[in-house]
Amino acid sequence: MAFFTSEYTGKLDAKGRLVLPARMKANLPDTSANELFMREGFEPCLELYPLLEYKKIYSKIVGLNEFNAENRKLQRNFFRGSIAVELDSAGRLLIPKTMLVYAGLDKEIVVVGMGNRMEIWNPKVYDKYLIKDPQELSDLAEKHLTDNG
């Protein structure tokens, strides 16, 4: 199982390649360390999954009843924004141009560990999605992480 936490800042090179932070790379499963799946996130960011973690989500989405119009809509939009990517020998991955545009990525980026996946953000956009009020974070934790919620 993948285990990604923390946030890291970095830069894309002129070709749109990202050097995966060393701690993130170290947490990739040995069986498929160079094989990753990238997809357009639900927010304006990119999600990066180890192959094993992506296969779990793939199984759920592909297993939906294809005779249901809502399921087909989800499948179509989920899979159209997904692509296999590989780390090169220097630990870099090439982000396709359409995905750079989708996430508004230019030079500066933030890579965030999200447990089973990583997110890649434009730092200015990412900041808008962060909770600034500790009480709001506390309330969310209580709502979702206690037996009362």
Residue 81 phi/psi, 5° resolution?
Answer: -100, 25
* Token pair belonging to 38: 């990238």
pTM score of the predicted model: 0.91
pLDDT, residue 132, reads 93
Residue 131 resides in a domain: yes
Instruction: Give the chain's domain count.
Output: 1
Query: What is the per-residue pLDDT across 28-48, written as a single tens digit (0 to 9) for each?
Result: 887 667 889 999 999 999 999
How large is the average pLDDT for residues 76-86? 93
For residue 33, which of 60, 51, 54 has the smallest C-alpha distance? Answer: 51
CA distances from 10 to 111, 136, 146 (A): 8, 28, 35
Residue 2 resides in a domain: no
Residue 1 resides in a domain: no
Residue 84 resides in a domain: yes
What CATH code is carried by the domain that includes residue 87? 3.40.1550.20
Query: What is the per-residue pLDDT across 110-127, written as a single tens digit (0 to 9) for each?
Result: 999 999 999 999 999 999
Residue 44 neighbours by CB under 8 Å, 6+ apart: 102, 103, 104, 122, 125
* pLDDT range class, residue 148, cuts 50, 70, 90: low
Tell me the residue range of the domain where 139 lies: 7-145
Residue 73 resides in a domain: yes
Residue 90 resides in a domain: yes
